[in-house]
Amino acid sequence: MINITKKEIEMSSDLITKLKWACGSNYKATNGSLRIVDHTNIAYVEPHKVIINNTLFLMFNEHEFVYVENLSNKIPLTNLKDYLRKI
């Protein structure tokens, strides 16, 4: 039987500060997690999920990109404020 251990990852204070800069307090965030398949070397980092204006953004601590809806659509974190103005 495969057992998966899930450990929550707290959103970094730098990422929270950047979110507040980009959209104020108008967002809802869920912490990501680390999922480890026991007795293997397989692990998966689940991103933090942030909902702004009914749009899902995926974010990782200490990462320079923000992913829109899925991991194939990315924008630089520094452009998040401009992106939010367009939607």
Instruction: Read off the pLDDT of residues 25-81 as tens digits, 9 standing for 90 and up.
Output: 889 999 999 999 999 999 999 999 999 999 999 999 999 999 999 999 999 999 999
* pLDDT at position 20: 93
Number of domains the chain contains: 1
Closest CA to 64 of 15, 25, 4: 15
4-9, strands of its sheet edge to edge: 4-9, 32-37, 43-46
- Structural domain that includes position 80: 4-86
The pTM score is 0.89
Identify the band that residue 87 occupies on the pLDDT scale cut at 50, 70 and 90: confident
